[in-house]
Amino acid sequence: MAKRPIFTPNFSDFPYVKEVDIEFRWYPGFAKSRLQKSIASLHRAAEDKGIAPILEISGKSTSVLGVSLSAFNLPLKTPNGQKVSVECAYQGSKVFENGGPYQDLYSVSSRAAKTDERLRNSGKLIAFNFFGEDFPIDPQTAFYDWLYLTALWQKKPNLAKEELEPFEGFSDIVFNPQRSLNCQARAAALFVSLSKEGLIDEQFFNKDCYLQYMACDLDRIPYGQGQQSEMTVHQLYITWPDAENFEAS
């Protein structure tokens, strides 16, 4: 038996996501067919607890939508017009004590970016820098979520309502909370919640506005304050590429 979280939208309050641990039968092995058996087992166990339907978001998903929303595949168009995956954007923006950001990782495959040796040989992670915008490492998942939410919004602003809201929860079979912090399934649930509450628009993606949300300091959200960070969704471009040329995770 194994245990994995299912992430469900929480429409009532911060942090806008509920995490439900589900115990299920794990099928050993990391071949795609074995992982898909484990996904089916996880979803059946979640359904027994009243959570269904569920969208698996990973390269191992049996859903075309789920595969396309994998961070390895989900495309992001940067301020200079470059097309990168969310995974490449995340890995290439890491700043360490002894190096980084390694922005050349924006131009490689998602798998190559994630496994680049410099990410393990440059000392302690101290910050993120994305095209001149500095992001802190606390809240811990804030930068990754910002990239992922931005990519979803720019892929289709109505994506939550049109394609994601029918799902009661989201899973990522390879995410192990004992080993990792960031999770694309959690970010998808967050996107649904924030969209449903009408909290997502272009100004939301202003770095300072966003970080105030993530810190749950709603009284200080700097809407309309022009002196704040100016990197909004508009500057990251509204037109998005198709994901078909990106590697599946």
Q: What SS3 string covers the chain?
A: CEEEEEEEECCCCCCCEEEEEEEECCCCCCCHHHHHHHHHHHHHHHHHCCCCCEEECCCCCCCHHHHHCCCCCCEEECCCCCEEEHHHHHHHCEEECCECCCHHHHHCCHHHHHCCHHHCCCCCEEEEEECCEEECCCCCCHHHHHHHHHHHHHHCCCHHHHHHCCCCEEECCCCCCCCCCCCHHHHHHHHHHHHHCCCCCHHHHCHHHHHHHHCCCHHHCCCCCCCCCCCCCCCCCCCCCCCCCCCCC
Q: Is residue 104 part of a domain?
A: no
* pLDDT number for residue 199: 86
Q: Is residue 19 part of a domain?
A: yes
Q: Is residue 220 part of a domain?
A: no
In which domain, by residue range, is 15 found? 2-74+159-199
* pLDDT number for residue 240: 32
Amino acid letter, residue 142: A
* pLDDT number for residue 216: 62
Q: Is residue 114 part of a domain?
A: no
- Rounded Cα–Cα distance for residues 26 and 124 (Å): 34
Q: What is the largest CA-CA distance in the chain?
A: 53
Please state, as a whole number, how many other Cβ atoms lie within 10 Å of the Cβ of residue 219.
5
Q: Is residue 56 part of a domain?
A: yes
What residues pair up with 22 in beta bridges, in sequence order?
Answer: 4
Q: Is residue 180 part of a domain?
A: yes
* pLDDT number for residue 244: 35
Q: Is residue 178 part of a domain?
A: yes
CA dist 208 to 10, 16, 92, 220, Å?
23, 19, 21, 10
Please state, as a whole number, how many other Cβ atoms lie within 10 Å of the Cβ of residue 224.
9
Smallest CA-to-CA distance from 100 within 130, 75, 78, 73 is with: 130
Mean pLDDT by groups of 10 residues along the chain of 249 residues: 96 87 95 97 98 98 98 94 95 98 98 98 98 93 96 91 96 94 97 91 85 63 37 39 39
Instruction: Map tokens 């820098």 to a residue.
Output: 129
CB 9, CB 192: distance < 8 Å: yes
How many domains does the chain contain in total? 1
CB 37, CB 29: distance < 8 Å: no
What is the chain's length? 249
Q: Is residue 141 part of a domain?
A: no
Q: 15 preceded by cis ω (within 30°)?
A: yes
- Rounded Cα–Cα distance for residues 52 and 193 (Å): 17
